[in-house]
A and B are shown apart, each in its own frame.
Chain A
Amino acid sequence: MTTRINETFKNLKQKNSKAFVAYIMGGDPNRKVSQRMLNALPGNGVDIIELGMPFTDPAADGPIIEEAGLRSLKAGTKLSTIFEMASEFRTINTTTPIIIMGYCNPVHHMGYNLFAEKTKASGIDGAIIVDLPPEEDKELREAFNLNDLALIRLATPNTDENRLSRVVSGTKGFVYYVSMTGITGASSDRINSVPEQVKKIRQASKLPVVVGFGVKTPDNANKIVQDADGVVVGSAIVKELNEKGIEPALELVKALAKAVHK
């Protein structure tokens, strides 16, 4: 529901705080561990959850997310698994928005309408489909609108003003600003011109602006939210979960949340 996203930003604004958005790959390394991780995110300070849908050929992701997706697929994750994870999460939490994120082919294969219905029925609030630019998202956008779901579009450093107005006009919930021309998990040194770009997006849209890609540490995250309404951390959490397990990964989540909220 778009309401759940809107309420989240409204509440944060009242507290004069910003949104911490955490990404995990659904089903990585398996359904059980991933579900425990998902369920624990809000209690560790996460305001919005991005739940990755695995794909064999994630051309916009770096090796950390790609390998997480392949682990998940190997463990048997399907789109239906992602929906089941969200449904189970909703039995313990009704307020934290979930955005699912992935690539178009599995969605196209299921059919845009059925995908939208299942997304809605699972208590998911929106989706980011990386390889579905405004030029190609009409069918999914219409299906999402019918189900009051947010199709969140990406703006990038090379999105010029003409494209920016097009990008923001069809988006709901928030605008996701990709902090660099690059892939997920790239070096934070590549993050550029966030304050200027956030200002440009604000001129084009009233929606909250959330920034992601290359954000790894509490310091990175804190710096981003000086300008943006929220920040996404993905690869760093996925890496910690893979290398050290749930508890250390949640410690990192907690530290990141603290840096965003202070």
Chain B
Amino acid sequence: MVNSENIITPDENGRFGDFGGRYVAETLMPPILELEAAYTDAKNDPDFLTELDSFFNHYVGRPSPLYYAERLTEFTKGAKIYFKRDELNHTGAHKINNCMGQILLAKRMGKTRIIAETGAGQHGVATATVAARFGLKCIIYMGATDIVRQKPNVFRMRLLGAEVRSVKSGTATLKDAMNEALRDWVTNVGDTFYCIGTVAGPHPYPAMVRDFQAIIGREAKKQILEREGRLPDALIACIGGGSNAMGLFHEFINEKSVRLIGVEAAGKGVESGLHAASLTGGSPGILHGNRTYLLQNKDGQITDAHSISAGLDYPGIGPEHAYLHDIGRAEYLSATDDEALHWFQECARLEGILPALEPSHAIPRTVEIAKEIGQGGIIIMNMCGRGDKDVFTIADALGEHISEGTEG
């Protein structure tokens, strides 16, 4: 249960309660300690923060609007639903907030080579974008399966000057791309900065990525106070690794009147076994540098995640979410592929917004919570990405045949 003290995490060992930590090979301990020191120094340096803010304003396009979704609210007949429009950022998702922060830090550390993993390609595109802006060499690891599923993003990364390396090992998806990025980092520790895309990995990544994404919640708090004169009743966000959710939640962690709700991807349904809901259907374990909830079998082998959304298709979750789950500060629900597809279409028709498949998972639970809270209530949902990248997947799922450029 939540005690009366404020939640300030992680501790000096990178622990959020029993979660987090630094489970990496010895070769990676010196670079993550170096990173931790550099990050601690940077976040206390007003010049660094000013530079980051300036790029947020003029390059990313922040602050993103807080938009009252009036027709969805009327349709729901419940609490007022606001969207935090992080899909309007440069590159079309919240991912660039983190890349901006990490790559400014890489530059400050004198690193010349940026590596990253990507699933759907959004983090890869954001990393390639910011690396291009600073003239840094950029290598993106992407599962061979995802490269086929996300061709437009692969091409975007190449246009931005990044080298996209296909990862064929294991299941050839996001987790394998992360394994391969770790192998690259172990091999090139001197000049390379590993730009992790979510609030996972060894300490200090979960806290650092959260801090760079926390701009979402800081803006949302200011905006809702201006608009409504009070805090919202609930915040809702989809969760793969959980960076957009932590970014929205962080500023509100100690505002105990605000419910924090994460929505995991239930794929074909949690009971089917074909899902990506690590908290709802997983158990604590150790992967990619941190102790957290994982999808694993009874022998501690990692099992495959399944989701129509490549961005949620990961068998783990950030350790801070695991902690907030266990102490009961945040609630974690899930939504299936079918629900996401249905509400993607409703959102398009009612609000004129094509949400990415990731936040499409948050919409059905937002609608339910809005009904539960009722009129007079206020909810903010993080619209963390736009759906342009998903139109082929969606067309396929709806049984429509649309041309994929000249190859179609």
Contact = CB atoms under 8 A, between A and B. Distances in A.
Residue in A156, A159, A186 with the greatest tally of chain B CB atoms within 10 Å: A156
Most interface-central of A105, A130, A186 (chain B CB within 10 A)? A105
Contacts of A170: none
A22 interface: no
Contacts of B189: 158, 181
Nearest to B300: A109
Given A58-B179, A109-B285, A79 B23 contact: no
Contact of A163 (B30, B178, B190, B291): B30
A66 B302 contact: no
A59 B182 contact: yes
B301 A55 contact: yes
Interface residues of A, number: 43
B170 interface: yes
A178 B27 contact: yes
B341 interface: no
Contact of A182 (B26, B29, B31, B186): B186
A228 B302 CA distance: 36
Chain B at the A interface: SS class: mixed
A246 interface: no
Contacts, number: 113
Interface in B262-302: 285-289, 291, 294, 296, 298-302
Nearest to A153: B26
A121 interface: no
Contacts of B187: 181-183, 186
A167 B186 contact: no
B13 A135 contact: yes
A110 B288 CA distance: 19
Contact of A107 (B186, B294, B298, B300): B300
Given A57-B179, A104-B286, A178 B21 contact: no
B95 to A, nearest CB: 22
A178 B286 contact: no
B151 interface: no
A210 to B, nearest CB: 14
Nearest to A77: B299
Contacts of B398: none
Interface in B292-321: 294, 296, 298-302
B25 A56 contact: no
B26 A155 contact: yes
B296 A109 contact: yes
Given A105-B285, A105-B286, A105-B294, A181 B24 contact: no
| Interface range, B side | 35 or more
Contact of A56 (B182, B190, B298, B301): B301
B389 interface: no
A96 B13 CA distance: 38
B375 interface: no
Contact of B26 (A109, A159, A186): A159
Interface in B172-187: 175-176, 178-179, 182-183, 186-187
A78 B299 CA distance: 6
A125 B47 CA distance: 54
B288 A59 contact: yes
Contacts of A163: 29-30
Contacts of A130: 25
Contacts of B183: 59-60, 62, 183
B169 interface: yes
A159 B182 CA distance: 18
Given A105-B296, A107-B300, A183-B187, A133 B285 contact: no
Given A104-B23, A181-B187, 14 more contacts: A57-B179, A59-B25, A59-B179, A66-B170, A67-B169, A79-B299, A79-B300, A109-B299, A131-B24, A136-B22, A154-B26, A181-B189, A182-B186, A186-B187
